[in-house]
Amino acid sequence: MPDLLYLTQRLPYPPMKGEKIRPLQILKYLTQWYDVHVGCLIDDPSDAQHIPTIAAMCRDIHVATLNRKVAKMTCLTGLLTGESLSVTFFRDRGLTKWVRNVMTNVRPKVVFINSGNMAPYVLDLPKRETRICDLADVDSEKWHAYAETASGPMRQVYRREWHKVAALEKRIAYECDVSSFVSDAEASLFKRLIPERASHIRGVSSGVDHRYFDPALEHAPVFDTALPTYVFTGTMDYPPNVDAVVWFATAILPLIRRTVPAAQFYIVGNGPSPDVQRLAQIDGVFVTGRVPDVRPYVAHATAGVAPLRIARGIQNKVLEAMSMGKPVVVTSGALEGIEAEPKTEVLLADTEAAFAAACCRLATTQDGAAIGAAARARIVRDYDWSARLRKFDDLLRPVAVAHTESGGK
């Protein structure tokens, strides 16, 4: 099989958050046609035990260790070099050397890059191969949103990052054969920003492993199931997630409790920030930190909640809860890019009062069962990973076939 260089920010295992779930599924998809050389980083020492899992899928792997505290300091060199701080955060000398060795000696037929932050590892090298960059989200718009809501010195830091990331995204659009995104909405936004490269931009929606997130599987309860329980899952030092759970716990949950006094809220995910940890001081709010499996929490919840006010791309937390046959209450931002019918497959609410009313409805009526069943049917029908990733076939299959027909030369 032909060789392919695959770069991603973090070891794509265990698949417990979006930046690992999508890269893992793409890696599995690529291995059907290519000998894959994986380059990535690890910033959580507990992930090191999973290196053999990924190594078993590929021809070669290089995993760089990223010390987050050190990286936060060294990324400030971007202020001197004029680069994005996000890019310098993920830069590693050993990984740089390994990538150059693969490009020079292996000469892969394809380079597949996950996230714009990893693109600089190859953009300055001679291009002889097909290059695909899965940007997933228009990341510059996230920094733009941060800049609009921040104050003091951080406002200027975010504004600078917005412009630097936007410049890198534009370069990627011009120098890669395809820039892909997790939804048609994100792809359309990028096309509006760089209309001259519209034909090289596409949406390739994320899916969900509906056999893993299956309501038929049994999970032991992890909380008192007699109490109405709302669950939010995600990486809990990610600012949009932090904003979402703080808003729910401090503004929405009190409204719910006027009707459902025993309601409780579980915040499930690794790395809870200080703001999230403080929410555990509120009666009925629980912050779990990292858990080995989110499914028991979702399986026994009254509903999943995604009260995101800052959101980009597709929310895996919504797809996973839908896959498990659970009703999910979402904001418009959390629903972006997901083909789900409000009122019948999810409940949509953008104000505190509307969000609380939807949650109360699910705790006091039998409506949740029908909504959850419809959500599960939607996922099985439309969100299988293999079907979603076929949108890359027109690029990747011909290269693999041509290599085989030429005798592997």
Q: At what angle do helices 316-323 and 367-382 cross, to 10 degrees?
A: 110
For strand 328-330 and strand 303-306, is the pairing parallel, antiparallel, or unpaired?
parallel
Q: What average pLDDT does this structure show over 237-256? A: 96
Say whether pLDDT at 404 is over 80.
no
Share of the chain above pLDDT 70, in %: 99
Does the pLDDT value for residue 376 go beyond 70?
A: yes
Local confidence band at 409 (pLDDT 50, 70, 90 cut-offs): low
DSSP letter at 292 equals: S
Q: What 3-state DSSP class applies to 372?
A: helix
List alpha helices for 260-392, DSSP H.
274-279, 295-299, 316-323, 332-335, 352-364, 367-382, 385-389
pLDDT in tens, 271-305: 999 999 999 999 999 999 999 999 999 999 999 99
- Mean pLDDT score, 303-318: 91
- Residue 312: the pLDDT is 73
List Cβ<8 Å contacts ≥24 apart for 70-73.
71/43
Exposure letters 181-214 (e unless 16+ CB within 10 A, then b)? bbbebbbebbbebbeebeeebbbbbbbbbbeebe
How far apart (Å, rounded) are the C-alpha atoms in residues 351 and 55? 46
Mean pLDDT of the chain: 94
Residue tagged 């995101």 (tokens)? 308
Q: What confidence score (pLDDT) does residue 223 get?
A: 97
Give yes or no for a contact between 205 and 314, defined as CB atoms under 8 angstroms apart. yes
Region 185-203: mean pLDDT is: 96
Please indicate whether residue 260 or residue 72 has the higher confidence score (pLDDT): 260
Mean pLDDT (whole number) for 55-69? 94
Average pLDDT over residues 194-221: 96
What percent of the chain has pLDDT above 90? 84
Name the most confidently modeled range: 61-75, 229-243, 387-401: 229-243
Q: From residue 89, how far is each of 67, 82, 85, 157 by CA, in Å?
A: 10, 13, 6, 15
Give pLDDT, residue 72: 80
Q: Which domains does the chain have, with CATH numbers?
A: 3-207+385-405 (3.40.50.2000), 229-382 (3.40.50.2000)
Q: Which of 138-152, 251-265, 390-404 has the highest mean predicted lDDT (pLDDT)? A: 251-265
| pLDDT > 70? residue 342 | yes
Structure pTM? 0.85
